[in-house]
Structure 1
Amino acid sequence: MTVITLVQGDITGQTVDALVNAANSSLLGGGGVDGAIHRRGGPAILEECRKLRASQYGKGLRTGQAVATTAGRMDARWVIHTVGPVFSRSEDRSALLASCYRESLRIADELGARSVAFPAVSAGIYGWPMDDAARIAVATVRATPTDVEEVRFVLFDERAYEAFARETAQRSG
């Protein structure tokens, strides 16, 4: 059974097998979590992302999909890059957000990762409401068969932490 833990802080400082990056489709770095992971991990991550773009991901990584690279200088073995959907009030994109978590866990299983740290995918610049992002993330992780032993949600601020804490408490009892 997968244990879910919550941490408030910086995902780039976590000691886990794999860190999940809320990437953009270009895989070439950006703002928020994506920029922080590329800065902390160093040039090895960007180099592997460029190779992925030059091969099977020439048009970029599609929303809801995931792919792994080295973690560079971070205290993890891999970075699993996933592209979350931009929130829309007129279109339900929750299945794409759930896919980010499922696909990241699938990649983690392929790699043999036993501990994975996730950010709140799409809840930053992509505008997903935090409570709903937490609901989808926790429900999807709990419902996805995986060999990952620990899923650690690393939340940047107190508001995100509280939303995930409410969701894990509701869904555990």
Structure 2
Amino acid sequence: MTKHSADFIDIDHYRDLAQQKHKEHAKFLAQVKKKPPKHLDEITAEIHYEVFREIDCTKCANCCKTLGPDFKEADIERIAKYLRMSLQGFEAKYLRVDEDGDKVFQAMPCPFLGTDDLCTIYESRPKACRDFPHTDRKKIYQINHLTLKNTEYCPAAYEFVEKLKTKLK
């Protein structure tokens, strides 16, 4: 079975690889943080776009099945408006406050994930969803902990770290 093709991404394969390389990735990302190379933002942007030319998120949607976004007030207002719901109605139907005090989905997978693994509120989706897996962020070394965590859930994040390792060695 291939790790990804035009129609399928083997998320279990990627999770296993990410777990096997966890220490290696953590050490590498710590080195990048300690001494960021010149033009790191340009390098990571190039790798981000390369990875997303190879991996089609709609063939995976693991983030939508397992990770819930942290909803900011702007997200709640935008989505409630899109769904023609009151803010209170939207929050009561879809959200809860977690142990960190963040507003998150009551349950996963995302209630807006269609049976075709496409987002039914794509135009209005939360900022956290828009930005995931955060591999196009400037000064990416500032979120090493998040990048490392995301490799276990997102094949694109895993491939990003692998390509970054290759490029910087």
Q: If the TM-score is normalised by the length of the shorter chain, which range does it land in?
A: 0.3 to 0.5
Higher strand share: 1
Structure possessing the higher relative contact order (Cα contacts under 8 Å, 6 or more residues apart): 2
Larger proportion of helix: 2
Which structure has the larger Rg over C-alpha atoms?
Answer: 2
